[in-house]
C-alpha cells in the first residue's frame, strides 16, 4: 500500500484490525475501544503498531500509553467530520506526542494543508486517490495567520 | 480601515488559485458534488434556485469606495446589474456562472476582498456595530478586534469543519446595534471594577430553527486573552458539538444540553491549558489599531449655519436629517444612512449604478469609506453638517434617500423563494406590500421606531424571531402562509418574539400588520414605543383585533 509520510510517497504495510479480527503476524492498528480492553494482550504480540482515534474518543484513554504507541490514526468517517483536526492538534501540543499521526478515511486533497498544520504527518486516503496530486497540497498556502501544531511562524510574528 | 500588507494579499491570492483549481477539478469530474460542496461553501458559493449564489465577505461591514466600485463591476459584468446586502453585512450575487466564480474572486482580490468562509460549517464573517468609531456611546472601537478575529479565524486549520456554521459579533457601545446576543459568540467591550476594558463573553445565541439568546460565560476577559478564549470555546464545540443532526449542531444546542455551568467549566479548563501560549502580541494589536484612527476632521465643521437653514426651509430634508442621520462624536459631523429600502425595491438590493454613485459620494463627503448595516442599509459615517444638504439631494436623485431608517418600512428581509432553494415562501413581495400600505409618511413617523423582520423559512435569515414584528413564511399544503410574532428584539434587551396566533394567508399579511400597528396607536401611552407597548400590554389586545373576524 502506498501512503504519504513526511512529505513523501512511501510503501507501508499496516493492517487496521476490526474489533473482532485476530491480531496478525504483521504490524496492525486497533480501535481505541479495543485498546482499552485488550491493551496488555495486544502488546505481547509484538506487532501492535498503533491505535485509531475517531471523533468521540478521548485522548485521555491512551495518554499514559503514548510512549508505547508508534502510530496514532485519526479517522475520517466522513470528510466533514472535523473532530480529528482537534484530536491531532491536542496529541501534538497537549500530550507532546512525537510519533506518527496518520489521517485515514474519507478526507480529500483539499483538507491536507489543514491536516498538516494540526500535526498530521502521514496520509492514507481512500484507495482511488492520486497521491502525486495530494502531495502538491502542502504548498497550497505560504501564509498562516495562526499558530498551530506545525510550528510555522504565524504572520503576526513575521510582521515584527 | 485595515489595509492589506504582503501577507494578507498573498493569502487571498493563494485562496483564489486554490478555488480555481477546485472548480476546475469539479467541472472535470475529479471532485464529486459531495466533495465539492463543503469546498465551494467555504468560498461563499451556494447552488440556488436559478443559478449559483456567491456571497462576498465585507469584514464587519466596512468598505472603501474602491471596493464598492468593484462590487458594482461584478454586478454589471458577472451578474444582472445588482447585488443584495445581507444581515451579516455581506453582499450576495444571485446570478453568477460557476465557471466564472474564480475570475470574480480574482477581481475581488485586487481590492483586498474575498469570499472566504462566507458560508459552510466554519467561522463566518465577524459582524459589528455600523456606527463603530463615530458613535457617541462607545466605550472602545470594536473594529480592531474584529480585524484580529478575522485574521485568526481565516483558514484556521483546526476549525474549518465544525459541526455547523459559527458566527461572532463584537459590540463596543452602550447600545447594542450588532445583534450581539444572537450570535454563537457575542463579545461586549466592558469595564471591570478597576476601570480596565475587556470583553464580556456570551455564548450560544443564534436564530434559525431554535432561536436562543446567548448567555454570559465570562463577565470579564482581559483583552490579551481574547484569541485563546475563542480558541478554547471553538475546540470544545468542535470536539463535543453534535454531528448526528444538523438541526441540533449549533453551539447553542451543546450549551443547552450540557448546561451552562458544565459548558463553562469545559471552556475554562481548556483555556487554562492554552492561555499563556496564545497570549496576544501587544505589538500586533497596536499595529491593527493604527488602521482605525480618526480621519482628518475639519475643526470648523460646526461653524456651518446652512444646515439649520435648509432644514427650516425644506421639510423633506429635515425629515431625512431627523430619520436617516445620527449624532457623531465629532461636533459638526453626522453619520448618514443610505436607505436601501425605497418603495418597490427588494430590501437590501442595490444596482451597479447606485453603487458607483455612492462610491463617488463616499469619496466626496466621507473620507472614501462606508459601512454596511446588519439591517441591510449603507452608512456614510463622517459627513460634515454643511454638506448634508448636497448629499441628500444626490442620494434622492439615486432613489437612496427614503427617510425611513428604523421605521416600519425599513424591513429586514431574506431573498426568499424567489431566489433561495431553502425557502418555502416568497418574503420579498410581502415586504413590498407591507411597505406599500405605509406610504403616508406622517403615519409612518407617528408609528416611531419599529423593526419588522421577514424570513421566508424557519432558517431565519431575515431575523424574524427578533423583529418587533416578526414574519415567518410557512408552507401549508403547498400554499404560502405567514406566522407572526410580536415583541422580539436583538438589542440590549434581546428577546424572542411571541407567537401572535394562527398563521395568515399571504394575501392577508399586510392588512394584519396594519391592524397590529393601528392597535398599537390606540393603546400606546404617550410616546411609548411599539416594543414597550407590546411588553406592557401583552399579546391579547393584538390577538383580539387581528383574529376578531376569524
Q: State the CATH number of the domain containing residue A93.
A: 3.20.20.70
d(Cα B441, Cα B435) in Å, to the nearest integer? 11
Write down the pLDDT at residue B49: 61
Percent of chain A with pLDDT over 70: 100
pTM reported for the whole predicted model: 0.96
Q: How confident is the model at residue B48 (pLDDT cuts 50, 70, 90)?
A: low
Q: Which residues contact A81 (CB under 8 A, 6 or more apart)?
A: A55, B161, B243
pLDDT beyond 70 at B30: yes
pLDDT beyond 90 at A25: no
- Is A79 within 8 Å of B35 (Cβ atoms)? yes
Question: Most B CBs within 10 Å: which of A82, A84, A106, A133, as the mutation test of the B interface?
Answer: A82
User: What are φ and ψ of residue B327, in 5° steps?
Assistant: -60, 145
B525 — contact with chain A (CB < 8 Å)?
no
The whole-angstrom distance between B304's CA and the closest CA on chain A is 44
Partner residue opposite B11 with nearest CB, options A115, A143, A147: A143
Q: How confident is the model at residue B50 (pLDDT cuts 50, 70, 90)?
A: low
> Is B539 or B48 the better-scoring residue by pLDDT?
B539
The whole-angstrom distance between A78's CA and the closest CA on chain B is 10
Question: Most B CBs within 10 Å: which of A136, A141, A149, A154, as the mutation test of the B interface?
Answer: A141
Cα–chain center distance at B120: 17
ipTM: 0.97
What would the mean pLDDT of B199-212 be, rounded to a whole number?
A: 94
Write down the pLDDT at residue B23: 94
- pLDDT tens, B487-518? 999 999 999 999 999 999 999 999 999 999 99
Write down the pLDDT at residue A156: 85
Work out how many domains chain A is built from and give that number.
1
pLDDT beyond 90 at B213: yes
Partner residue opposite A81 with nearest CB, options B31, B161, B284: B161
Q: Which residues contact B71 (CB under 8 A, 6 or more apart)?
A: B56, B63, B83, B91, B355
- Pairing mode of beta strands A122-125, A100-105: parallel
Q: Which residue of A has its CA nearest to B237?
A: A83
- The residue segments making up the domain with residue A76 are 2-158
B544 — contact with chain A (CB < 8 Å)?
no
Q: Count of A–B CB contacts within 8 Å? A: 94
- pLDDT tens, B364-421? 999 999 999 999 999 999 999 999 999 999 999 999 999 999 999 999 999 888 778 7
Write down the pLDDT at residue B382: 98
A142 — contact with chain B (CB < 8 Å)?
yes
Q: How confident is the model at residue A153 (pLDDT cuts 50, 70, 90)?
A: confident
Distances (CA, A) of B92 to B69, B115, B118, B420, B461: 15, 10, 10, 12, 13
**B212 secondary structure, DSSP code:** B
Q: How confident is the model at residue B249 (pLDDT cuts 50, 70, 90)?
A: very high
Residues facing B480 on adjacent strands: B475
Are B14 and A144 within 8 A, CB to CB?
no
> Is B49 or B17 the better-scoring residue by pLDDT?
B17
Mean pLDDT of all residues belonging to chain B: 95
Are B38 and A79 within 8 A, CB to CB?
yes
- Is A52 within 8 Å of A81 (Cβ atoms)? no
- pLDDT tens, B284-329? 999 999 999 999 999 999 999 999 999 999 999 999 999 999 999 9
User: What residue ranges define each of the domains in chain B, with the CATH number in brackets?
Assistant: 6-109 (3.90.480.20), 134-288 (3.30.413.10), 301-397 (3.90.480.20), 412-546 (3.30.413.10)
Q: Which residues contact B196 (CB under 8 A, 6 or more apart)?
A: B222
The whole-angstrom distance between B472's CA and the closest CA on chain A is 30
Are A82 and B7 within 8 A, CB to CB?
no
Helix, strand, coil fractions of chain A, as percent rounded to 5: 35, 20, 45
- Is B379 within 8 Å of B406 (Cβ atoms)? no
d(Cα B477, Cα B458) in Å, to the nearest integer? 16
d(Cα B48, Cα B60) in Å, to the nearest integer? 25
Are A148 and B38 within 8 A, CB to CB?
no
Q: Which set of grid coordinates corresponds to residue A42? A: 495486544
Question: Most A CBs within 10 Å: which of B31, B148, B149, B157, as the mutation test of the A interface?
Answer: B157
Write down the pLDDT at residue B208: 87
pLDDT beyond 90 at B123: yes
Amino acid at each position: 500500500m502506498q501512503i504519504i509520510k513526511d512529505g513523501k510517497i512511501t510503501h507501508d504495510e499496516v493492517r487496521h484490525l476490526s474489533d473482532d479480527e485476530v491480531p496478525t503476524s504483521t504490524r496492525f492498528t486497533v480501535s481505541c475501544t479495543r485498546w482499552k480492553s485488550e491493551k496488555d494482550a495486544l502488546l505481547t504480540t509484538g506487532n501492535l503498531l498503533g491505535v485509531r482515534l475517531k471523533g468521540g474518543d478521548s485522548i485521555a484513554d491512551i495518554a499514559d500509553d503514548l510512549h508505547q504507541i508508534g502510530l496514532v490514526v485519526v479517522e475520517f468517517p466522513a470528510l466533514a467530520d472535523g473532530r480529528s483536526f482537534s484530536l491531532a492538534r491536542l496529541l501534538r501540543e497537549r500530550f507532546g506526542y512525537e510519533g506518527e499521526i496518520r489521517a485515514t478515511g474519507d478526507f480529500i486533497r483539499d483538507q491536507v494543508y489543514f491536516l498538516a498544520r494540526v500535526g498530521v504527518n502521514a496520509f492514507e486516503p481512500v484507495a482511488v486517490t492520486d497521491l502525486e496530486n495530494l502531495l502538491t497540497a502542502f504548498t497550497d498556502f505560504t501564509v498562516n495567520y495562526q499558530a498551530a501544531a506545525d510550528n510555522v511562524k504565524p504572520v503576526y510574528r513575521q510582521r515584527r | 480601515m485595515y489595509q492589506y500588507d504582503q501577507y494578507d494579499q498573498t493569502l487571498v491570492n493563494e485562496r483564489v488559485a486554490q478555488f480555481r483549481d477546485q472548480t476546475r477539478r469539479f467541472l472535470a469530474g475529479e471532485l464529486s458534488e459531495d466533495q465539492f460542496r463543503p469546498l465551494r461553501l467555504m468560498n461563499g458559493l451556494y447552488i440556488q434556485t436559478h443559478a449559483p449564489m456567491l456571497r462576498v465577505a465585507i469584514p464587519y461591514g466596512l468598505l472603501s469606495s474602491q471596493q464598492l466600485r468593484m462590487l458594482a463591476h461584478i454586478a454589471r459584468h458577472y451578474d444582472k446589474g445588482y447585488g443584495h446586502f445581507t444581515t451579516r453585512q455581506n453582499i450576495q450575487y444571485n446570478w453568477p456562472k460557476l465557471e466564472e466564480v474564480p475570475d470574480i474572486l480574482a477581481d475581488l482580490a485586487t481590492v483586498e476582498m474575498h469570499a472566504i468562509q462566507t458560508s459552510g460549517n466554519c467561522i463566518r464573517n465577524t459582524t459589528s456595530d455600523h456606527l463603530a468609531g463615530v458613535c457617541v456611546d462607545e466605550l472602545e472601537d470594536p473594529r480592531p478586534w474584529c480585524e484580529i478575529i478575522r485574521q485568526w479565524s481565516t483558514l484556521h486549520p483546526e476549525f474549518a469543519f465544525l459541526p455547523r456554521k459559527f458566527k461572532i459579533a463584537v459590540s463596543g457601545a452602550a447600545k447594542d446595534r450588532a445583534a450581539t446576543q444572537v450570535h454563537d459568540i457575542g463579545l461586549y467591550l466592558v469595564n471591570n471594577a478597576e476601570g480596565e476594558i475587556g470583553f464580556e463573553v456570551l455564548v450560544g445565541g443564534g436564530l434559525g430553527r431554535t432561536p436562543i439568546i446567548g448567555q454570559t460565560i465570562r463577565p470579564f476577559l482581559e483583552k490579551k486573552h481574547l484569541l485563546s478564549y475563542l480558541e478554547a470555546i471553538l475546540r470544545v464545540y468542535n470536539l463535543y458539538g453534535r454531528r448526528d443532526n444538523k438541526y441540533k449542531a449549533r453551539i447553542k444546542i451543546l450549551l443547552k444540553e450540557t448546561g451552562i455551568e458544565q459548558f463553562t467549566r469545559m471552556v475554562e479548563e481548556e483555556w487554562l491549558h492554552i492561555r499563556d501560549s496564545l497570549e496576544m502580541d501587544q505589538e500586533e494589536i497596536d499595529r491593527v489599531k493604527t488602521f482605525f484612527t480618526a480621519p482628518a476632521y475639519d475643526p470648523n465643521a460646526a461653524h456651518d449655519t446652512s444646515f439649520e437653514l435648509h432644514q427650516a426651509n425644506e421639510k423633506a430634508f429635515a425629515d431625512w436629517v431627523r430619520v436617516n442621520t445620527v449624532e457623531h462624536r465629532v461636533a459638526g459631523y453626522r453619520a448618514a444612512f443610505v436607505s436601501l429600502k425605497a418603495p418597490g425595491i427588494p430590501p437590501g438590493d442595490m444596482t451597479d449604478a447606485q453603487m458607483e454613485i455612492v462610491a463617488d459620494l463616499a469619496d466626496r463627503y466621507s473620507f472614501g469609506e462606508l459601512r454596511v448595516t446588519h439591517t441591510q442599509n449603507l452608512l456614510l459615517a463622517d459627513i460634515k453638517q454643511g454638506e448634508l444638504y448636497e448629499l441628500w439631494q444626490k442620494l434622492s436623485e439615486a432613489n437612496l434617500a427614503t427617510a425611513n431608517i428604523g421605521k416600519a418600512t425599513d424591513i429586514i428581509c431574506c431573498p426568499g423563494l424567489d431566489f433561495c432553494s431553502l425557502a418555502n415562501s416568497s418574503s420579498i413581495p410581502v415586504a413590498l406590500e407591507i411597505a406599500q400600505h405605509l406610504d403616508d409618511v406622517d403615519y409612518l413617523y407617528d408609528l416611531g421606531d419599529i423593526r419588522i423582520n421577514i424570513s421566508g423559512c424557519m432558517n431565519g435569515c431575515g431575523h424574524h424571531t427578533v423583529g418587533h414584528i416578526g414574519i415567518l413564511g410557512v408552507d401549508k399544503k403547498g400554499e404560502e402562509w405567514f406566522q407572526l410574532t410580536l415583541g422580539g428584539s436583538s438589542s440590549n434587551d434581546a428577546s424572542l418574539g411571541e407567537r401572535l396566533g394562527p398563521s395568515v394567508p399571504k394575501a392577508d399579511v399586510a392588512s394584519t400588520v396594519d391592524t397590529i400597528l393601528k392597535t398599537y396607536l390606540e393603546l400606546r401611552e404617550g410616546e411609548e414605543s411599539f416594543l414597550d407597548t407590546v411588553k406592557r400590554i401583552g399579546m391579547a389586545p393584538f390577538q383580539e383585533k387581528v383574529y376578531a373576524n376569524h
